[in-house]
Amino acid sequence: MSASAIVMMCVYLCLVWGGLAVGAVLMARHDDDSAGTLPPGWTPLDEVPGRNPTGPTTGTARSDASE
Amino acid sequence: MTTRTRETWATRRTFLAAAIGSAIGLGNIWRFPYIAYQNGGGSFLVPYVIALVTGGVVMLFFDYVIGHRFRGAPPLALARINRRIEALGWVQVLITFFIAVYYTAVLAWAAFYTWFSLTLAWGEDPNGFFMDSFLHFDPAVAVSTSHVPALTGVLLLVWVAILLIMSAGVQRGVGRGSRIAVPLLVVMFLAITLRALFLPGASEGLNAFFQPDWTALTDPTVWMAGYGQIFYSLAVGFGIMLTQASYLKPRTDITTTAWTVAFANSSFEVLAGVGVFSALGFMAAQSGGAIGDVVSSGVGLAFIAFPQIISTMPGGPVFGVLFFGSLFLAGFTSMFSIIEVPIAAFQEKFHLSRRRATLTVGGVAALVSLLLMPTRSGLATLDIIDKFINVFGIVVISVLTLVIVGWGCRMFGVLSRHLDAISTIPTRGWWPIFVGVITPVVLTVIFLGDAIGLVRTPYEGYSPLQLAIFGWGVAAVLYVGSLVLSLLPWRGSVSFDTPPETAFDADRPPSSRAREATPTEVSPAEATPTDGAAAPMLEGAVR
C-alpha cells in the first residue's frame, strides 16, 4: 500500500468510527430523561398522577362494529 | 369500545439494535465499496462524510422526529400534520411494500449460497451457475410464469420466518430478533474482514480502495454519489425510520440516537469496504489482472465475484458461509423495518390487530413476491422494480415530503423545537437549513440525472413490455394507489391531533403542559385539521 492510501485509510476509519464513538459517549453521559432543554423536574404526561397511564398511544380507536 | 396501546421499545439498546439492523443492509456490503472506488477512492471520504452529516444525519432527525412526535406510520403521522397530505404517507408505504417484494428474493438467494458454499456448488463457472443452473434466467422472456421449484420453496420459507417474527410484535419480535442478529452480523463480518486482510494481494486491494484521487473532488457527480450513497444506505425519507421512531418512548434523546445509528451504519460500511477490497485484491492477484478488471457491485459482486474468490482461497467454504450468512442477516434485519411500514400503516388505517395486519399485508406481499421473483424472468423483474422504485419512488417522495411538510406546513420550527426539548445535540438554527434547503436541492439533482437517463434510453436494454409493467407501471401504482388509499375512510375513531404525550415544545413551560394533560379521544368528526398540528405553538416562537 502507498503511504497516501495508508493515511487515507487511517483518516477514514478514525472519522467514521470516531463519530460512532462520539455518539456512544454522548449516550452514556446523557440519559433520555435528562437530555434536552426541558426542565429537570418535567414529568412526562403519561406519568402525571391521576392520568390514565396510556403510555405512548396512537389515537385510541373505537371499532365501527362496536359503536 | 376498544382501546389499543401502542407498543414501545423496551430499552434504548433494543431500539438501537433494530435501527442499526435496519440501516445496515445489502447496500452496505455490495454497493458502498464500489461507489467509493469509482468516485475517487480515498478522497471519496470528503464528500461521503460531509454527506453523512449534512444529508444523512439531518434526514434521520427529520424521519425520527415526525415518527416520534406524531406516533404513527407515515399515513397517520402525516395526516396528523395535515389531513390533506396523508397520500404522501401512502406513497412511502407502497414503496416499502414493493421493496419487500423483491428484497426477500435476494435473501432467498443468500440463504441458498450459504448452503452452496459448503460444497462450492458453483464449480468453475460461478456466472453460468448463477444465471443458468440456479436462477434458470431467460433474458428473452419478458414475463415468465415458469417457477423454479427450489427457489420458490426457500423464498416461501423466508417469508414465513419474517412474518412469524413480525406477528410477534415490535418489541418481542423485531426487538428481540435484532438484538440477536445485529451483533452476530457484526461479529461475522469482522471475521470475514480479518480473514480477507491476510490473503495474498489484500494490500493491493486496499491500496485501490483508499488511494486518493483528489481531482475527483472537482467533479459534481462524485458529490452526488456521496449523497446518493448516504441516502440509500441509511434508508431515509420513505417511511422506514419514521415508523421505527413512532415506537420510541416519549422521552427519548432523538438526535444522539440518530447520530449513533448513522455513524454505526457508516462504520459497518467502511468495514465492509475493507473486507470486500481485500478479497478483490486476492482475486486480482490470483488472476494476474488489475483490481479494475475484477471490481463489481451488487448481484455481480456477491453472487459471481465472491464465489470465484471463495473457490480459490484456503478455507473457502467457511469464508463463504460467513459471507453469505452475513449478507442474509444484513438483509433479514432490514426486512423487519421494511415490512413494518405497510403492516403498521394498514393496522392503523383499518383498525386491524397486529396479527391480522401482518398476515394480510405480509401475505399479499409474499404472494406477489412468490409470483414474480422465483421465475425465469425474476432477475430482470427485480432489477427493473428496484431501479424505478429508487428513482421515481424514494427520491421523489423524499423531496416532496421535505418540501410539503417542512415548508408547506411550516413544520421545521416545530420539529426543531421538539428535538431540542428532549435531545442532546441541538438543532436550532442549522438543521432547518440543511434539511430544508440543501437536502431537497441535492435530491432533486440526483432525481433529474437518473430520470432523464431512464426516459431517454431503455433501462439496461430491457424490453418495452418489461419496462412498461415493472418500471413505469409500478411507479404509477405508487401514486395512483396512494391517492386511492388516502381517500378511503379511517376505521374506528382516530385522533388526528398531536398526541399529548409527545407534544414537546421547548418554549412552553411544563405547567402549561400539565394543564393540558387530559386524556382525550377525538372522533374524526371532532378532529380539527391540524395544518401544522402545533400551530398555536408557533405563535411568536418561529426562530
Residue type at B297?
Answer: S
Given A11, A16, A62, which is nearest B267 (Cβ)? A16
Cα distance between the two ends of chain B: 42
Residue of B54, B501, B528 for testing the chain A interface, max A β-carbons within 10 Å? B501
Do B271 and B189 touch, CB atoms closer than 8 A?
A: yes
Mean pLDDT of chain B: 88
pLDDT band at A64 (very low <50, low <70, confident <90, very high): very low
CB contact under 8 A, B495 and A59: yes
Residue type at B222?
Answer: V
User: Of B185, B386, B214, B336, which is closest to residue B275 (Cα–Cα)?
Assistant: B185
Do B517 and A46 touch, CB atoms closer than 8 A?
A: no
Q: pTM for the full model? A: 0.87
Please identify which residue in the block is written with the cell numbers 409493467.
Answer: B469
Tens-place pLDDT, residues B253-281 = 999 999 999 999 999 999 999 999 999 99
Q: How many CA atoms lie within 13 A of B356 on its CB side?
A: 8
Tens-place pLDDT, residues B369-411 = 999 999 999 999 999 999 999 999 999 999 999 999 999 999 9
ipTM: 0.84
Which residues from chain B sit within 8 angstroms of residue A39, using beta carbons?
509-510
Query: Could you write out the DSSP letters of every residue in B38-77?
Result: HTTBGGGHHHHHHHIIIIIIHHHHHHHHHHHHH-SSHHHH
Is the pLDDT score of B526 beyond 60?
no
Alpha-helix residue ranges (DSSP H) falling in B53-175? 58-70, 74-81, 86-119, 126-128, 149-167
pLDDT band at B521 (very low <50, low <70, confident <90, very high): very low
> Pick the residue with more confidence: B396 or A53?
B396
Which residues from chain A sit within 8 angstroms of residue B4, using beta carbons?
57-58, 60-61
Give the C-alpha separation, B295 to B313, whole Å.
17
Per-residue pLDDT, averaged over B174-196, amounts to: 90
